[in-house]
Structure 1
């Protein structure tokens, strides 16, 4: 069945797709297709001027449902949900969706490992998408966002880096790999914030502090290379 046949401009299908991919009891392939259909419908039905556009009330309800699903157990589906949230954020954040970033920041600070990872994954995709906008007003909004969350993003990266280095030295392979993935996601967020969030990053003390910290961390990573054969056996 084609996406045109499934969606057909009927708004209720968006809620149906959301209910399907949020239901962890359903078949993975069915849930995967539901995420893809929902994601592909964003460009066609989310803008106010689009034919058969979703109403503001419907979009508010759908957005609320999207940020309650940070416990997705399937990696591939979690990535698609993160991309889906980012597509909506590109159109609605921060004006129509001001709660998105605060909820993501609060979630990545949680102690639940799965929820923390999914929120961080979403945080990266949202940051990446917002950084790609090129209108002057959008760039100013992203710069405001960057100045507000840069310190937090740096502390997040530093925390996960510390955890990774400690776990490597302790030869805790599973924990180290999990921390490494979070370290990389945090670093990707910082890369977008650093490059696109400041007009003169070289004049910003926080940015220069982060860049100096990167070189210090490289030395620590090199010191840990002697433990890496453990992960290859």
Structure 2
């Protein structure tokens, strides 16, 4: 009888030992997978003319299968939709600029009314009016307003931020970048927006706005927006 009890205890110990071993193996495997996935999801971040490859790239279009027979919403309709959207976050946000692109979602910069500081950058589907946060600096570098994909919003009213890179320095960094990477015919004027954590500037060629990029206000890293496509019109609201 005692031998049977001992055999039973040994079997239980063996079973629990196997369960523990499998659990540890699964935990280690999951940790390795998450680490590799996080590394592969690093964005394209340019550092004063040098860049690392990543997953970011291509046109941002939230409805690529849109029926071309449908008409686009007008800029006024887009503005109205965005203003209604911003009401959900209080009364201190307003549209600064709308970038109308030929074959991609429209870009909208949003600023605070009381400070004039950029708050967030959003994209709008020109056919459906769907509004969602722009990927890139808006989601990775924003120190006060953080917008995560899917439309969720996190706002830290008590956030404190002091730029280490002044706007004049950021303009030079951005201008040097476009001249080195795109050519001498490109330039970055001082026009743009200072956000909580970074600056966003317009890129010009032949005195026309052809795109944009951002400069991190703490590190000076440059993030070139290569996913918008051909720009048709810029509408400045404020």
TM-score (norm 2): 0.24
Which structure has the higher relative contact order (CA within 8 Å, separation 6+)? 2
TM-score (norm 1): 0.24
Which structure has the bigger radius of gyration? 2
Q: Could you say which structure has the higher helix fraction?
A: 1
Q: Could you say which structure has the higher strand fraction?
A: 2
